[in-house]
């Protein structure tokens, strides 16, 4: 029962956060921030396509230098990106695989620049989000519940792993 109320409260908070993100800043502030923006107007992360590795089927994959982080990100992206287009089948099919990728990542050792206390704290926070997402899929919850819980997984991941992903891309794209 607590998990239901907690999930509901977090869903409401996510909707409120999305509404606040949709507010447009004044034009002078917007002009100052244009060079610094990493998100589009919906609040979604824009990925640096030049620093990504080409995958079969034309998809590109970010590389951090931490195999298990990259594997988690690949599974999460395969679940999340179709949801943004309204296709929930991959999200429902990949819930268990994502939990397994998370467990493998938690047990692994990464590069010193990425495998630090902030990342380990983020991984612990991600555990709760993945549990909520898996619960929604297992109980065949609505598409909206799956979207909200998977978005929370996505946003938590980016809150602590984005720096490692960006560091890996910068490393890969350096010229000798």
Evaluate whether residue 5 is within a structural domain. no
Give the closest residue to 91 by CA, choosing from 6, 149, 139, 42.
149
pLDDT at 162: 87
Q: What is the C-alpha separation between 83 and 50, in angstroms, rounded?
A: 24
Evaluate whether residue 13 is within a structural domain. no
Q: Report how far apart, in Å, the C-alpha atoms of 142 and of each of 15, 39, 82 are.
A: 16, 27, 16
Evaluate whether residue 160 is within a structural domain. yes
Q: How far apart are the first and last CA of the chain?
A: 57
pLDDT along the chain (176 residues), means of 10: 48 47 37 35 41 41 82 96 96 98 96 91 96 97 97 95 74 41
Evaluate whether residue 26 is within a structural domain. no
Evaluate whether residue 134 is within a structural domain. yes
Evaluate whether residue 23 is within a structural domain. no
pLDDT at 70: 93
Supply the DSSP symbol for 43.
Answer: S
DSSP result, 111-156: -TTTSSHHHHHHHHHHHHHHHHHHHHHHTT--HHHHHHHHHHHHHH
pLDDT at 113: 86
Domain count, the chain: 1
pLDDT at 168: 60
Evaluate whether residue 100 is within a structural domain. yes
Give the closest residue to 130 by CA, choosing from 166, 70, 80, 67.
80
> What torsion, rounded to 10 degrees, do the Cα atoms 63, 65, 66, 71 define?
20
For residue 86, give its domain range. Answer: 63-176
DSSP result, 44-102: PBPP-GGGEEE-GGG-EEE--S-HHHHHHHHHHHHHHHHHHTT--HHHHHTHHHHHHHH
Evaluate whether residue 12 is within a structural domain. no
């Amino acid at each position: 029962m607590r998990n239901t109320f907690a999930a509901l409260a977090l869903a409401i908070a996510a909707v409120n956060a999305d509404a606040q993100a949709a507010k447009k800043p004044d034009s002078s502030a917007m002009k100052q921030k244009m060079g610094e923006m990493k998100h589009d107007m919906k609040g979604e992360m824009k990925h640096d396509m030049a620093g990504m590795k080409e995958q079969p089927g034309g998809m590109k994959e970010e590389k951090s230098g931490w195999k298990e982080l990259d594997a988690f990100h690949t599974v999460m992206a395969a679940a999340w990106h179709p949801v943004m287009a309204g296709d929930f089948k991959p999200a429902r099919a990949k819930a268990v695989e994502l939990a397994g990728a998370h467990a493998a990542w938690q047990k692994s050792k990464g590069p010193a620049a990425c495998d630090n206390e902030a990342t380990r704290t983020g991984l612990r926070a991600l555990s709760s989000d993945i549990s909520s997402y898996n619960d929604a899929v297992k109980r065949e919850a609505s598409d909206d519940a799956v979207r909200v819980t998977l978005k929370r997984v996505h946003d938590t991941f980016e809150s602590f792993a984005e720096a490692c992903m960006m560091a890996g891309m910068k490393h890969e794209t350096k010229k000798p």
